Amino acid sequence: MSSRLNDMENEGLVVIGRLVGSEYDTPEAIERIAEAVDAWGRKLSLPLGLVYCGTTINWPSDVQYTSIVIGLITFSGYGDDDEPVAGELGPEDMDIARAEAIPADFWRALQQEHGVELSGSDEVYLAAAGWTWVALAPDEGSKSVFSVSTEGSGYRAIPQELRSGHWTVRVGYC
């Protein structure tokens, strides 16, 4: 399963894909879409996944709007406050050209069969799943990209000028 519906795990991911504009008030709707994305990933032999940019710890009684990113999961790492370094990230993990491997039929099926509203174009996102913060930077104190699941959107587009570098990914509990 490539989709990420985390409760207490602290996971940072890079996803090349699209944002979901739909809002869901039940976990079942989100789980059905995640299952469809995973089935397409198996069918296409691609690391496709749905990333719920928050925690599922309060499901099923409390489902609040949380951002969702769908696409190729090119990096995934776990960390916590004691061991925040989750891994290394290179240009190949952030290459927007990799989105060309995702067929238009996939996006069309999500829209037509599941009613998913999607952003119009592909982007490279740093996403936080679970109660998580995630950051990437070449070293301490340098310019970085940062995302927090409990504040704001839980994802951040990685600027194009930063995609050619090598980065350390740090992940922790927020």
**22-64 per-position pLDDT tens digit:** 888 788 999 999 999 999 999 999 999 999 988 787 777 766 7
What are the backbone angles phi and psi of residue 72, rounded to the nearest 5°?
A: -80, 125
What's the total number of domains in the chain? Answer: 1
Does the pLDDT of residue 142 top 70, yes or no?
A: no
Instruction: Taking residues 147-160, report their average pLDDT.
Output: 82
Containing structural domain, residue 99: 11-173
| pLDDT of res. 4 | 80
| pLDDT of res. 146 | 75
Give the Cα separation of 44 and 38 in Å (integer).
10
Give the Cα separation of 23 and 115 in Å (integer).
11
| pLDDT of res. 79 | 84
Please name the residues in contact with 78: beta carbons below 8 A apart, sequence gap of 6 or more.
9, 10, 11, 12, 86, 171
The verdict on residue 2 lying in a domain is no
**Percent of the chain residues past pLDDT 90, beyond the cut:** 52
The verdict on residue 169 lying in a domain is yes
The verdict on residue 5 lying in a domain is no
Give the Cα separation of 25 and 62 in Å (integer).
8
Please, are residues 54 and 66 in contact by the beta-carbon 8 Å criterion? yes
- Between 90 and 8, the higher pLDDT residue: 90
| pLDDT of res. 26 | 84
State the SS3 of the chain: CCCECCCCCCEEEEEEEEEECCCCCCHHHHHHHHHHHHHHHHHHCCCEEEEECCCCCCCCCCCCCCCEEEEEEEEEEECCCCCCEEEEECHHHHCHHHHHHCCHHHHHHHHHHHCCCECCCCEEEEEEECCEEEEEECCCCCCCEEEECCCCCCEEECCHHHCCCCEEEEEEEC
- Tell me the average pLDDT of the chain: 88
Give the Cα separation of 143 and 106 in Å (integer).
35
Q: What is the pTM of this model?
A: 0.91
The verdict on residue 6 lying in a domain is no
Residue 112: CB atoms within 10 A of its CB come to 9
Give the Cα separation of 94 and 160 in Å (integer).
9
